[in-house]
C-alpha cells in the first residue's frame, strides 16, 4: 500500500509547504514514485515552491469535479520523472472538495505511486479535515515558538481523535545560537511538551529562501544544511535509522557550570 502522508501544523507559516516540497523531492531522489498534493485550496503555493507554477493546466478541484482525468492534472517535476504535483485550485474554496473525495483520489493515486504527500492548509477546519482524511501517517510541522507548539498540541489531539495513529513531529527553523543563549526552546523541550515521536529537526537556513526564490528546493543543494535535514527525514520515512543532525551548539564548560549554579539558586 502506498504511504499517504499528510503534513499539517495548525499554525500557518511554520514551513509545511517547504517541508512537503523537500520531502517529496528527496523521496524521488531515492527512487520512489511520488505525488505531492496541495490541499490548500484558494491559497495555492506548493507549485511556486517547486518551481512548477507555469505548467498548471488542471487542478485538484477539476479532478474532483470530473473536468479532467487525474493523470491530466498531474504536473511532472522538472528534474525527476517519477515526481508529480497535483496543484490546488486558486479560485475556489475548501468546500469544493470533501474528505470522501480526497480518500477516493488517494486510493486511485495509491495504485501508481509509492508516496502521496499532502500539504495541509493551516487551521483545523474543512481544509485540514480534507487533508487528513486519506492519511495513513501524519507529520506535524512546528517551530520552537510558543504559538506554533501550542497549535501543534491541538493538532496532535485532533489527529488522535480522527484515529490516524500517533503523528510524528518535525521541528523546523531551529536556531542553534538562540538555543545556546537560552533564548529558544530546544528539541528536548518541544518533544517533552508535545510528547510525540520526533522524525526530524531542521535548522533555520537562508538557503531555503534562496532556493524558493529560484523555484528550486533545498534538497537539491548539497551545501544546504536544511536540505540535509530533509534528506534524513525522507530516509527515516523509508524505514532507515538515521541519526539526527547535531544542530545545537554545546554550551562551554564554564557556562554549563554557571547555568547549574543559577538553577540551584532558584
Which residues contact other proteins by CB under 8 A?
A: 145-146, 149-150, 153-154, 157, 178-179, 181-186, 189, 193, 258, 261-262, 265-266
**Quick one: 76 or 154, whose CB is closer to other proteins?**
154
**Quick one: 72 or 188, whose CB is closer to other proteins?**
188
Nearest to 190 by CA among 177, 166, 208, 174: 174
CB of 190 to other proteins, least distance (A): 9
CB of 138 to other proteins, least distance (A): 19
CB of 202 to other proteins, least distance (A): 18
First CA to last CA across the chain, in angstroms? Answer: 54
Nearest to 78 by CA among 108, 49, 37, 109: 49
C-alpha cell at 60: 485538484
**Quick one: 79 or 257, whose CB is closer to other proteins?**
257
CB of 186 to other proteins, least distance (A): 7
**Quick one: 179 or 226, whose CB is closer to other proteins?**
179
Calculate the CA 163 to chain-centre distance. 20
**Quick one: 105 or 247, whose CB is closer to other proteins?**
247
CB of 9 to other proteins, least distance (A): 16
**What are the DSSP calls for 74-86, one per residue?**
PEEPSS-TTEEEE
- Give the DSSP H/E element, type plus range, for residue 142: strand 137-142
Cβ–Cβ < 8 Å for 103, 131: no
Amino acid at each position: 500500500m502506498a504511504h499517504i502522508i499528510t503534513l499539517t501544523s495548525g499554525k500557518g507559516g511554520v514551513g509545511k509547504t517547504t517541508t512537503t516540497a523537500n520531502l517529496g523531492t528527496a523521496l524521488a531522489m531515492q527512487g520512489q514514485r511520488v505525488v505531492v498534493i496541495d490541499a490548500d485550496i484558494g491559497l495555492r503555493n506548493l507549485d511556486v515552491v517547486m518551481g512548477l507554477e507555469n505548467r498548471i493546466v488542471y487542478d485538484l478541484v477539476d479532478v474532483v469535479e470530473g473536468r479532467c482525468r487525474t493523470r491530466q492534472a498531474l504536473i511532472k517535476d522538472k528534474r525527476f520523472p517519477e515526481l508529480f504535483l497535483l496543484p490546488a485550485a486558486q479560485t475556489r474554496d475548501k468546500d469544493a472538495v470533501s474528505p470522501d473525495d480526497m480518500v477516493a483520489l488517494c486510493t486511485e493515486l495509491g495504485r501508481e505511486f509509492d508516496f502521496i504527500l499532502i500539504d495541509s492548509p493551516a487551521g483545523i477546519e474543512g481544509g485540514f479535515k480534507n487533508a487528513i482524511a486519506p492519511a495513513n501517517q501524519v507529520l506535524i510541522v512546528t517551530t520552537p515558538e510558543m504559538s506554533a507548539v501550542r497549535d501543534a498540541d491541538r493538532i496532535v489531539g485532533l489527529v488522535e481523535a480522527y484515529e490516524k495513529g500517533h503523528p510524528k513531529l518535525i521541528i523546523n527553523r531551529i536556531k542553534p545560537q538562540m538555543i545556546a543563549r537560552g533564548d529558544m526552546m530546544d528539541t528536548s523541550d518541544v518533544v517533552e511538551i508535545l510528547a510525540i515521536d520526533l522524525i526530524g529537526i531542521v535548522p533555520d537556513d537562508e538557503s531555503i529562501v534562496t532556493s524558493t526564490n529560484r523555484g528550486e528546493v533545498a534538497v537539491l543543494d548539497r551545501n544546504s544544511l536544511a536540505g540535509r535535514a530533509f534528506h534524513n527525514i525522507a530516509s527515516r520515512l523509508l524505514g532507515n535509522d538515521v541519526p539526527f543532525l547535531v544542530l545545537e551548539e554545546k554550551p562551554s564548560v564554564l557556562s554549563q557550570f554557571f547555568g547549574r549554579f543559577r538553577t540551584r539558586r532558584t
